[in-house]
């Protein structure tokens, strides 16, 4: 997998968790898999984003970013074919996804601190950040430009994968089902891991105000419906 970390010295900085900046052509420091980190528990990482500056990435998100399913987004254009008309309109779904996870986490923490009565816990925050990071996993080449071609290729019984959201959910579940990655260790309540993942997947698809909350499937009651807003 191609990585953007640069020199061996930068590799050591990443492993030590030090902050380092990307050059002008890269929005964020890439988290390409490093052989020495292929196994075991991840730790939080600080990376530099050219829009938001230094941001904290939780251990859960780092573990998901260290997967082929996520790293492929480094080669998926956020703006489709726009760069052929506007040469500087270049960034990737990977950069976008990291930014969404950061903003989602920042927003939900702000709500938690401002309104303790909402009972927002650490696992809620993890699910929301995870949904932000993985909401675009299912995009193909040139992002939305690829969808019409893919839709024509699907047979009627495969229509559930016609949207990139459903494909994102399928890829997220594949990541979570891999026991070697052991993502449940990053949640406070590990016994409810399947409910947490169901919640993250539901956040990706969204929930209409007119649809009953699937509280038994996501482990959250009506009081937490606001998280879908």
What number of other Cβ atoms are within 10 A of residue 214's Cβ? 13
Residue 91 is among the residues annotated as catalytic for this protein: no
Task: Name the CA dihedral angle for 96, 54, 228, 226, rounded to a multiple of 10 degrees.
Answer: -160
Where does residue 22 fall: left (phi above 0), alpha (psi -120 to 50 degrees), or beta otherwise? beta
Task: Assess contact for 146 and 164: CB atoms under 8 A.
Answer: no
* Catalytic residue (choose from 135, 164, 194, 196): 164
- The number of residues in the chain equals 229
How far apart, in whole angstroms, are the C-alpha atoms of residue 102 and residue 108? 10
Catalytic residues: 164
């Amino acid at each position: 997998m191609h990585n953007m970390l640069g020199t061996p010295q930068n590799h050591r900085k990443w492993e030590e968790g030090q902050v380092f900046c990307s050059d002008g052509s890269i929005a964020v420091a890439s988290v390409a898999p490093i052989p020495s980190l292929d196994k075991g528990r991840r730790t939080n990482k600080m990376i530099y984003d050219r829009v938001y500056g230094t941001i904290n990435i939780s251990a859960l998100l780092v573990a998901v970013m260290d997967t082929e399913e996520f790293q492929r987004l480094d080669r998926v254009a956020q703006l489709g074919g726009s760069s052929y008309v506007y040469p500087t309109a270049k960034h990737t779904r990977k950069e976008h996804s990291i930014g969404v996870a950061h903003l989602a986490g920042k927003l939900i923490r702000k709500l938690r601190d401002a309104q303790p009565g909402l009972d927002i816990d650490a696992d809620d925050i993890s699910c929301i950040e995870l949904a932000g990071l993985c909401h675009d996993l299912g995009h193909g080449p040139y992002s939305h430009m690829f969808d019409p071609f893919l839709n024509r290729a699907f047979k009627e019984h495969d229509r559930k994968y016609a949207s990139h959201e459903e494909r994102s959910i399928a890829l997220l579940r594949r990541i979570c089902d891999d026991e070697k990655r052991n993502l449940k260790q990053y949640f406070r309540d590990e016994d409810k891991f399947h409910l947490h993942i169901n919640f993250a997947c539901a956040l990706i698809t969204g929930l209409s105000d007119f649809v009953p909350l699937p509280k038994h499937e996501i482990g959250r009651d009506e009081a937490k419906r606001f998280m879908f807003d």
